Amino acid sequence: MTTSVSSLVTTTDSVLDVRNLQVSFPSEAGLVKAVRGIDFSLRAGETLALVGESGSGKSVTATSILGLLPTSAQVTGSIRLDGRELIGLSDRDYSKIRGKDIGMVFQDPLSALTPVFSIGTQLIEALQVHQKLDDAKARARALELLDLVGIPDPKRRIDAFPHEFSGGMRQRAVIAMAIANDPKVIIADEPTTALDVTIQAQVLDVLKKAQEVTGAAILMITHDLGVVAGMADQVTVMYAGKPVEAGASDSVFYEPRMPYSIGLLSAVPRLDDGGRRALTPVEGNPPSMVDLPKGCPFAARCPIAVDVCRETEPELKVVDDSGLRSACHRSAEIGADLPREGMFPTPELPTWEGETDREGRPQVLAVDNLIKHFPLVKGQVFKRRIGTVKAVDGLSFDIREGETFALVGESGCGKTTTLLEILDLPTKQVGSVTVLGKETKSMSGKDRRGLRRDVQVVFQDPMASLDSRMPIGDILAEPLKTHGWDKDRIHARVPELLSLVGLLPEHAERYPSEFSGGQRQRIGIARALALEPKLIVLDEPVSALDVSIQAGVINLLDELKVKLGLSYLFVAHDLSVIRHIADRVAVMYLGRIVEQGDAETVFTSPMHPYTQALLSAVPLPDPRKERERQRILLTGDLPSPADVPSGCRFRTRCPKFLSLVESDAERCRTEDPASEAVAADHTSACHYSAALEVV
C-alpha cells in the first residue's frame, strides 16, 4: 500500500519521515498487532496530531519513534529523522538523539520528573548530556528556558523540587526540558490530559510558543478533538492500529470521508452546541488487536458497511483535491450520496412528563451552608493545629425531582469533598444536608440506613469501582442483600437491572475484567439503580471513557432519569459533557459556589469572571472557531484552600480585577462578595458581574 501513498507525500523538506511502520508484541493470547502500517511526514514548524481512542496504536507509534519500546516488540518499516534511519539503531546511538533531536512531553508531569532532584538540576542535566556547557552557562540557559515557558520568578523557582510545583508548572518544566537542546521534533503524548481546562489552555499556549522559538515539528498524540482543532495543522485518525483518515486539519474536521472520523466527531459533546439533546454514540467496541476480523476493522460498528467492507480491508488513498486520504470503500459516496449528518443514528430521548415548573416539584436534596474544614496539624506526639484547609466553605444548593444538577470546577475546588460529605449523611457538620425532607443531623441510625437506599453513587473509574473478585451478579445483588431483599426477588431483579442498562442477563456470571470500560460503567450504573433510589450521585462518570463510548453512557443516564424519575447530582470537570446533561449548574471555586443557575443561562451568558474564563478555556472541536476565539487566559494556579485570599477569593487570578480602577479594586480586596441574583434562577458571587459571551 505504501507505493501508492508515499509518492504523493512530499518528502523533500520533512524532518521526520515514517514509512509503513508496523509494531507487534508477543502476548499469551497471540501476536498483538499494535500498529499495522502508518505513514506520515513532519515538516519543521508543523504540528501533526494523531487522534484515536485507547488501544488504537497512537502511543505505540510515538514510543517507537523514541525507540523506547520493550525489546520484545517487533518493529518493521522505516523511521527517518533528517534522512537518518532510526530503526535498528543501538540504544547508545539512540540516546544521543533522544532529548536532543527529539524532545518528549509525557502525559503525567508528576512521574516525568524525578522527585529527589530539583527542577534546575534536572534541566541542567538535560542540557549537559547533549551539549558541552559549564555549570554556570548551563544554569543561565536553564533560567532562560524556565522564563520562556512562563514560570514566574525563575531565579527562585529553579531550585524548587517537583513536589513544590503545581501540575501545570511541572508540565511547563517538562516542556522546558523538551526544548532545551533545540530539538527538531517534539513528541507530546497527551500533554494536557491530566490538567484542568484553564491550565490546559496555558500549557497549550506554552507549547505553541516553544514551537515558535525552536521551529520544531510537533507530533501530538491526543484523544481530545478540541485540543487537536486548536493545535494541529495535520491530523491522522487512527483505528485498530492503522490510520483511517489523514489530511489537513480543516478537511478532516469539515469533510471527513471515513465513517469512523464522522462518528467520532458527532459523538463529541460540544460546548457551542445549543443545549440539551441526545448525543450520537458509535455502537460497539474496537476489535481485539490479537484476532482482527477479516475486512475493514470498523465494519462491525459502521452504519454504512456493505459486503465488500467485510471482505477486504480498504487502503488509505487520496479522496479529494485537498489531499485528504481516507480508508473507506465508500469514501467517494460520503458527502455526496451519503450525507454525513445523521450517518450514525441519534437515539430519541424521552421527554420529562412530570411537573415542568421547578418550584412545583418536590425537593430531593437541599444543602444549606455546608462547611467542611480539615485541620492542618503538625507534630508526632503533641499535635498542634497550624492551619485550616477550607475544602468546602459555605455551600448552598438544592436539587428537585427529575433534575440534573451539575457541580463544576477545577481539581482541588472541593467538588469531591462535597460529594463525600453528602454521601456520609453527616451528623456533625456546620450547615445542614436535607435528603428527601429529612435532615441528616437529627436522624437515627435506622433512618440513616433506610436513607442509604434512596441515595446511590456512581464512581469515576469503572475499573476501581467494581470489586474485580466478584461476578457481576453478586455485585448487583450486594445492595439488595444489604437492604434485606429475599433471594427470589434478588434473582428476578439482577437480570432486570442488566437489561435496563443495555447488557445481557447472561453477563451476571462474568467478572468485571471481562468487560470494556463503557460496559463496566453501565454495571456501576445498574448497581446504583438496584434499590430504586431517588437521587444518584455521579462522580465524573464518563471522564475515564472514550468519546464514542461516553456518548452512549450519557444517553443512558439521560434516558434512565426520565424513565425512573431520578435526580442526579453530577460532578464533572468537562464542561461540554455538562452542557449536554445538566439542567442546572453550579460553578465552584475554592470551596464556594461562585455562579449558579439554569444551565442554559449560565452557559450562554455567564456573569462571573471565573465562569467566563472556564468556558473560554474549553477547546472546541472546530478548527475555524478555534482560530477566531479569544481566550481569557487565567494567570497562575488555584490558590491553596489552606490560604484563601482575603475579600473575593478569585481576585488573585481574576482578569476583571486587573482591569478595575484602584477604588473599585479595593472592594474586591476587602469585601467577600455574596451570591446575588442576577436573573431569575441565576446567581453570581461577584461585585462586578456582567454578562459576556465566550463560546
Partner 1 sequence: MTTTDASTLSQVEEPKVRRSRGRGALLVRRFARNRLALVGLGILVLLLVGAYVLPSFLPWSYTQNDWNALGVAPNASHPFGTNHPGVDMLALTMRGLQKSLVIGLVGGPLTTAVAALVGASAGYFGGWVDRILMWILELMLVVPSFLLLAIIAPRLSHGTWLIFVVVLAAFGWMITARVVRSMTQTLKDREYVLAARYMGVNPMVIIVRHILPNVASILIVDATIQVGAIVLSETGLSYFGFGIQPPDVSLGTLISDGEPDATTSPWMFFFPAGFLILMGLCTAFIGDGLRDAFDPTAAGAKARVKKAKGSSDQEPMVELASTSIVVEEGTAS
Of the two residues 202 and 555, which places its CB atom closer to partner 1 in the complex? 555
Cα separation, 163 vs 118, in Å, equals 9
- The residue within the footprint of partner 1, chosen from 464, 658, 677, 679 (CB under 8 A), is 464
For Cα atoms 289, 290, 296, give the angle at the middle one, nearest 5 degrees: 50
Residue 449, C-beta contacts closer than 8 angstroms, at least 6 positions apart: none
* Residues in region 107-166 near partner 1 by CB under 8 A: none
Contact mark string toward partner 1, 38..77, x via CB under 8 A? -----------------x----------------------
If we measure between CA atoms, which residue out of 651, 688, 646 comes closest to residue 670?
646
Least distance CB 407 / partner 1 (angstroms) = 17
Cα separation, 186 vs 211, in Å, equals 8
* Residues in region 544-573 near partner 1 by CB under 8 A: 549, 552, 555-556, 558-559
CA distances from residue 88 to 76, 95, 571 in whole angstroms, order as listed: 9, 13, 48
- The residue within the footprint of partner 1, chosen from 103, 479, 541, 621 (CB under 8 A), is 479
Q: How many residues bind partner 1 (CB under 8 A)?
A: 78
Q: Is the dihedral of CA 383, 384, 389, 394 positive or negative?
A: positive
- The residue within the footprint of partner 1, chosen from 152, 274, 293, 342 (CB under 8 A), is 293
- The residue within the footprint of partner 1, chosen from 273, 315, 474, 672 (CB under 8 A), is 474
Least distance CB 352 / partner 1 (angstroms) = 15
* Residues in region 9-28 near partner 1 by CB under 8 A: 28
Count of CB atoms within 10 A of residue 360's CB?
10
Q: Is 230 helix (H, G, I), strand (E, B) or coil?
A: helix
Least distance CB 508 / partner 1 (angstroms) = 4
- Interacting span for partner 1 (CB under 8 A) from 221-229, 435-443, 444-452, 659-667: 444-452
Least distance CB 240 / partner 1 (angstroms) = 11
If we measure between CA atoms, which residue out of 657, 648, 656 comes closest to residue 691?
656
Q: Is the dihedral of CA 583, 588, 592, 597 positive or negative?
A: negative
* Residues in region 498-537 near partner 1 by CB under 8 A: 498-500, 502-519, 522, 524, 527, 531
Least distance CB 550 / partner 1 (angstroms) = 11
Least distance CB 274 / partner 1 (angstroms) = 20
Of the two residues 289 and 678, which places its CB atom closer to partner 1 in the complex? 289
Q: Should residue 345 be labelled a site residue for partner 1 when binding is judged by CB under 8 A?
A: yes
Of the two residues 137 and 453, which places its CB atom closer to partner 1 in the complex? 453
* Residues in region 266-285 near partner 1 by CB under 8 A: 278, 281, 283-285
Residue 8, C-beta contacts closer than 8 angstroms, at least 6 positions apart: 318, 323
| Residue type at 196 in one-letter notation | D
Residue 139, C-beta contacts closer than 8 angstroms, at least 6 positions apart: 120, 124, 158
Of the two residues 150 and 518, which places its CB atom closer to partner 1 in the complex? 518
- The residue within the footprint of partner 1, chosen from 212, 355, 467, 664 (CB under 8 A), is 467
Of the two residues 378 and 449, which places its CB atom closer to partner 1 in the complex? 449
* Residues in region 223-262 near partner 1 by CB under 8 A: none
Least distance CB 168 / partner 1 (angstroms) = 26
- Side-by-side strand order, sheet with 74-81: 30-43, 14-27, 74-81, 84-85
Cα separation, 224 vs 387, in Å, equals 39
Cα separation, 158 vs 146, in Å, equals 8
